[in-house]
Amino acid sequence: MLGWATPNWELTGYVIPAEKTTERFCDVKLQDGLVLKIKSSALEFVRMNEQWDDEGHPIYLIK
């Protein structure tokens, strides 16, 4: 179980290990014509306890 707190709120959750990951580039073309190739990697996922979005889905933090 993990926890985060600030003076205004406190959250707790638990780590869910990833079973598989595939890293792909995301091409972003800027208005000036420059194309950026961006690759992000998720290392860890945390499902928040008792936290849901407006559609009722659980909230996850991604590290």
* pTM of the shown model: 0.54
Query: Residue 6's pLDDT band (boundaries 50, 70, 90)?
Result: low
Strand, coil or helix: 62: strand
Domain ranges of the chain: 2-62
Helix and strand numbers (H, E) in the chain are 0, 6
Question: Above 70 in pLDDT, residue 53?
Answer: yes
Query: pLDDT tens across 12-43, in order?
Result: 888 887 787 777 889 999 999 999 999 887 77
Q: What is the pLDDT of residue 1?
A: 61
12 CB burial (10 A radius; 0-12, 13-18, 19+):
middle
Comparing CA positions, the residue from 57, 63, 59 lying closest to residue 9 is: 59
